[in-house]
Chain A
Amino acid sequence: MGATGLKETLARVAFALAAALSIIAVGLICLFLFANGIPAMAEIGLPEFLFGTTWKPGSNMYGIFPMIIGSIYATAGAIIVGVPAGLLTAIFLSRFAHARVAALLRPGIELLAGIPSVVYGFFGLMVMVPFIRTHMAGRGMSLLAAAVLLGIMILPTIITVAKSALDAVPKSYYEGALALGATHERAVFRVIVPAAFSGLMAAVVLGVGRAIGETMAVVMVAGNQPIIPESIFSGVRTLTANIVLEMGYAADLHRGALIATGVVLFVFVLLISLLFSAIKKRGEAK
């Protein structure tokens, strides 16, 4: 009995240790980001860092306000493009599509989710940027290109999460609506969509999180000028782009300022995931 007991205890401890690794990982990530970013923020001065509008590492000016605005604009644009299309596609798949059509589209959406962001970025660079340059205005690399590309990239996230929320609505809701004389469309939009509302919101928030954290695709199409864009055709630099563009050669305070940019991004993402769990909890409470 002793040997078996020992084996069981050891296994239990090993499993628990593995589980503890998540906690350790988050702890380490916070520790290293904050320990390297906060001193830089302090040296630059928090107001100058967050609200300074000039980013010129050469002359020791580290204001990331344009990048904060850039991330917000690009994400907002992604929501405008991606959320309606994503939610409508989810509704289509869940309630309108013929089983055979749905079976065809589902692997397509899995593929869309799996396509690496460089490939999206390359598509944006070779197709969308020239299109904007020749048919619209500006030099092509722009807020518009970044926003549309991000909108496309968050589609699979939104579709998958929204579809499972819609699928989870009890059948009786729909049948009840039909029995009361509603058309199929009315039943879907007046009964099923409201019933799945918190799940749909969760899908949107998850999409927002993906958009704000996306790096490579944005770097390839956004132009990356560290100034607040004047129109949707101007170039824009996001927080993520700021890090990836300059980290390769940065040193000293410049490097610290880039890590501090990561801290700001990290805080944004944490706020979004808090929002996500609040929405999820409200959905579960209902």
Chain B
Amino acid sequence: MTAKLLRGAVYAGAAFTTLVLAAIVAFVLVNGLPHLTPSLFQWEYTSENVSLMPALVSTVLMALLALLLAVPVGVASAIYLVEYAKSTSRFVRAVRVTAETLQGIPSIIYGLFGMLFFTTTLGWGLCLLSGACTLALMILPVIMRTTEEALLAVPLSYKQGGLALGAGPVRTIFRCVLPSALPGIAGGILLALGRCVGEVAALLFTAGTVAQIPNFAEQGIFALFDSCRTLAVHMYVLSGEGLHMNEAYASAVVLLLLVLLLNVAANFIVKKLKRGQ
């Protein structure tokens, strides 16, 4: 009797999760797909045609810039933690504790900090660069953790082999250890990319909400100081204004497809690179 009840409860829990997922995906697709018109992909955003194209391009720029800043630092610190440091040292413990703290900090706090530090103190204003730096801090612990896990999973013999052939520690790390940790690192990067794409709270007060593509063609590097809105911010602004709900639905579809694409890519890379080994 209890066995049946318990089994029922377990199935009910799983059914709830499945239903919720199906409901959200169906809601977005059913309401959004019909509104995904070509006019939404025009380069110019106007008050009549709230094109999502500028936001889409800004999302790509923002996410790439954040990755460019966070990936080298994240991977390097993971290498230090795994390959160099003695796990008992006070420095390593401090790094671990702070990385865990960073991971738990809500994005609105990152937004506040970005606003106080990059936007105000450094005087960058609301811009692509302030937003990307804020996002980079936010995804740093994600990249550190996944890289660390990937490095730890590399068989010790790879490293020993490299060292035995006379390669120095740096050469061993870059030629023997890192290549076989690559799938894990790539998975972490895609995870971080997903967070960048979906972020709003950390960007509202650091990157702003201007619906234009930063103009690198005319301003060159100074376009980094242009304000821009990512697709998630775009969707938040539209749903807040309440005037363009159909376009908000369409943005939701694009966001959902982006996330889906990232997930599929992550699984694919991990599988493919694992098979290649």
- A residues bordering B, Cβ < 8 Å? 4, 7-8, 11-12, 14-16, 18-23, 25-26, 28-29, 32-33, 36, 84-89, 91-93, 96-97, 105, 107-112, 114-123, 125-127, 152, 155, 159, 183-186, 188-189, 209, 212-216, 220, 240, 243-244, 247-248, 259, 262, 265-266, 269-270, 272-273, 276-277
Q: How far is the CA of A106 from the CA of B275 in the complex (A)?
A: 20
Taking a contact as CB atoms closer than 8 A, the residue among B85, B98, B201, B232 that contacts A25 in the complex is: B98
- Report the contact-size class of chain B (Cβ under 8 Å from the partner): 35 or more
The answer to whether A18 and B6 touch across the interface, beta carbons within 8 angstroms, is no
Nearest CB on A from B19, distance (A):
10
* Least CB distance, A261 to chain B, in whole angstroms: 9
Q: Which residues of A contact B201 (CB under 8 A)?
A: 117, 215-216, 240, 244
Q: A259 contacts B112, CB within 8 Å?
A: yes
Q: Which residues of B contact A189 (CB under 8 A)?
A: 6
Complex: A277 Cα to B98 Cα, angstroms: 12
Determine if B112 and A269 form an interchain contact, defined as CB atoms under 8 angstroms apart.
Answer: no
Main secondary structure of the interface of A (DSSP, over half): helix
Cα distance, A277 to B73, chains bound together (Å):
25
Are B109 and A96 interface neighbours, CB within 8 A?
A: no
Chain B residues in contact with chain A, CB under 8 A?
Answer: 2-4, 6-7, 9-14, 16-18, 20-21, 23-25, 27-28, 31, 72-74, 76-77, 79-81, 83-85, 91-92, 94-95, 98-102, 104-113, 115-117, 121, 137, 140-141, 144, 168-170, 194, 197-201, 204-205, 232, 235-236, 239-240, 245, 248-249, 252, 255-256, 259-260, 262-263, 267
What are the residues of chain A within 8 A of B198 when measuring CB–CB? 114-119
Q: Is A118 within 8 A of B116, CB to CB?
A: no
For A216, list chain B residues within 8 Å (CB).
Answer: 200-201, 236
6 A–B pairs (Cβ distance < 8 Å), ordered by A: A15-B76, A114-B194, A116-B198, A121-B239, A215-B200, A216-B200
Most buried by B among A14, A18, A188, A244: A18
Residues of B within 8 A of A19 (CB): 76-77, 80-81, 85, 91-92, 95
CB distance from B24 to the nearest CB of A (A): 5
A118-B239, A118-B255, A122-B239 known; A213 vs B105 contact (CB < 8 Å): yes
Our pick among A4, A12, A243, A272 for the contact of B104 (Cβ within 8 Å) is A272
Contact across chains for B170 and A7 when beta carbons are under 8 A apart: yes
**A112 in contact with B9 (CB, 8 Å):** no
Given contacts A32-B113, A273-B101, 12 further A-B contacts (CB under 8 A): A7-B168, A11-B169, A15-B83, A33-B116, A85-B13, A92-B10, A93-B14, A97-B14, A116-B200, A123-B24, A123-B27, A186-B2
Chain B residues whose C-beta falls within 8 Å of the C-beta of A36 in the assembled complex: 116
Could you say which residues of chain B place their CB within 8 Å of the CB of A89?
13-14, 16-17
